Amino acid sequence: MQLNKLSFNVFNTIDKYNLINPNDTIIVGVSGGPDSVALLKVLYAINTNKRLHLHLIVAHLNHQLRGKDSEEDALFIQKLSEELHLPFILKNVDVHKIAIQTKCSIEEAARCERYKFFIESSRTYNASVVALGHTADDNAETILHRIIRGTGLSGLEGIPIKRQLTGDSSTQLIRPLLYTWRNEIIEYLKNEQADFRIDTSNYETKYLRNKIRHELIPLIENQYNPNFRNTLLQLSQILNINNKYLSSEAKKTLETVIIKRAEDSYIINSHLLSKQSKIIQYFIFYEILMEMQIPLKEFSYAHYTKIIEETSKKGKGRQFQLPGKLHLWHEKGILYIRKTPLQKSFIPIPETIIQIPGITPIYPSGQLTAEISDVQNLSLDEYKRIKTKNEEILDLGRITLPISVRGRKDGDAISPLGTKGHKKLKDIFIDKKIPAQQRNAIPVVVMNDQPIWVIGVCIDNKVKVTPETKKILKLTFQKL
């Protein structure tokens, strides 16, 4: 069977962007409308013609928004699946009820439920690909929609032809028809004598997306630029190239300003960050939000601007909250970003290897200076008389390098100088009446992850200076 013009063009798109590989299991999202029906038929034809041995699975979510029409959509797609001898997945969801419960629009609730359905289906069938029927028209409408609503450079890229289905998934979401115009699809279906369903709600102009499609774009094409949709797509392609470069630069820069990263938090050196251009800072925060899986649609230009302005300020620590339950604390050149509320007293001290000799920053509290000297150059009695609580000397010969500094951990214990046995840090803090809200801010020097000096509190017996000591390690902590 020879491929027709549309199928041949779509195959070239698939090949160019490496959307599909032989033997892939593909969830094909089919609403019953012309775009998704064309997608299914084209993929079926390509699979047969090119002998790709694809496992196509038809998936339909019944939104239950149009009563009998919704039921007939599902029956139509089931019949189409049977005609093509393909598996069929159907899920019924009361989108109207969900929209009320989640206090969001019908459109947003429907979109969320569709993607939940595709994620569930891909996991159930171990699918490597989810294919959707977005077209060039959809892309142009999306770009214009975002301009009207307000967007940044990333939003102007439009709809991606391929992306991960979820941040932690190997399953790809693809759109093989993204460079195909809707009039080409209608002509294809007409030539194939293929039926499809019409969703009358797509013509209701009470929805902004429909007003853009049926009123605004025709107005601009008729009175200003007959090639307007192509102009929008050209804009998105230019910005895509631009943004790829900026994103690449931002990712490289991000690695130089990160102090610590975890699944739900980042600690950033804002001194280094603020030296970057504003556009690179913007893309750095965009990358962070992406990695933390914060809903980008909730972020406006004002939010990005607020982060950049706050991190450039000096003075007392400031805490503020952003959409997606994102909490930020900025203090003394350090920016803390977390998904959970962050109190200053609970700011974690990231583990850092101590430079010996040298100066080691301890975020967020200060820095640690390490010096090595011969014991004969030291008068122990004189040192004990003048030393402060934030400096200590240790027997270098009893230390296994490297040693690190970090915050306390549950279960940490030490053998305090002059005592027998070990004692938990928690009990030592209680005995010394150190307030609970201050304990996480106390740096702890560790060897093999065991505390040897709780700064300002006590050192461990095993590293104490003795008459046999030959070289000493002097550690001095300076608060910022």
- CATH number, domain of 9, equals 3.40.50.620
Domain final residue pick, 342, 362, 382: 342
Cis peptide before 361 (omega within 30 of 0): no
For residues 193 and 325, membership in a common domain is answered with: no
Rounded CA gap, 363 and 367, in Å? 8
Residues 6+ apart with CB under 8 A from 129: 19, 20, 24, 25, 26, 27, 171, 172, 173, 174
Position 133 scores a pLDDT of 96
Strands 172-174, 129-131: pairing is parallel
Position 248 scores a pLDDT of 94
For residues 205 and 240, membership in a common domain is answered with: no
Domain final residue pick, 226, 247, 276: 226
The answer to whether residue 325 is domain-embedded is yes
For residues 164 and 272, membership in a common domain is answered with: no
For residues 90 and 212, membership in a common domain is answered with: yes
- Number of domains within the chain: 3
For residues 9 and 105, membership in a common domain is answered with: yes
Report which residue type is found at 123: R
The answer to whether residue 347 is domain-embedded is no
For residues 128 and 75, membership in a common domain is answered with: yes
The answer to whether residue 198 is domain-embedded is yes
466: domain range? 352-479
Token code pair at residue 253 = 């820069």
Q: Are 456 and 427 contacting, i.e. CB atoms less than 8 angstroms apart?
A: no
Q: Comparing C-alpha atoms, which of 245, 138, 128 is closest to residue 182? A: 138
Token code pair at residue 138 = 């959809």
For residues 192 and 247, membership in a common domain is answered with: no
Q: Comparing C-alpha atoms, which of 109, 112, 130, 114 is closest to residue 58? A: 130
The answer to whether residue 41 is domain-embedded is yes
Rounded CA gap, 311 and 250, in Å? 17
For residues 62 and 206, membership in a common domain is answered with: yes
Position 346 scores a pLDDT of 54
CATH assignment at residue 457 = 3.50.40.10
Domain final residue pick, 226, 258, 290: 226
For residues 222 and 239, membership in a common domain is answered with: no
Mean pLDDT by 10 residues, the chain (480 residues): 90 96 96 96 96 96 90 95 96 91 86 92 95 96 91 86 86 96 96 91 84 94 96 93 93 90 82 91 89 79 84 72 82 79 62 91 84 81 82 93 92 92 91 77 93 94 91 88
Position 316 scores a pLDDT of 60
Q: Are 456 and 444 contacting, i.e. CB atoms less than 8 angstroms apart?
A: no
Q: Are 364 and 349 contacting, i.e. CB atoms less than 8 angstroms apart?
A: yes
The answer to whether residue 269 is domain-embedded is yes
The answer to whether residue 266 is domain-embedded is yes
For residues 421 and 326, membership in a common domain is answered with: no
Token code pair at residue 152 = 């940044």
CATH assignment at residue 267 = 3.30.465.60
Cis peptide before 364 (omega within 30 of 0): yes
For residues 291 and 417, membership in a common domain is answered with: no
The answer to whether residue 372 is domain-embedded is yes
Position 341 scores a pLDDT of 61
For residues 329 and 424, membership in a common domain is answered with: no
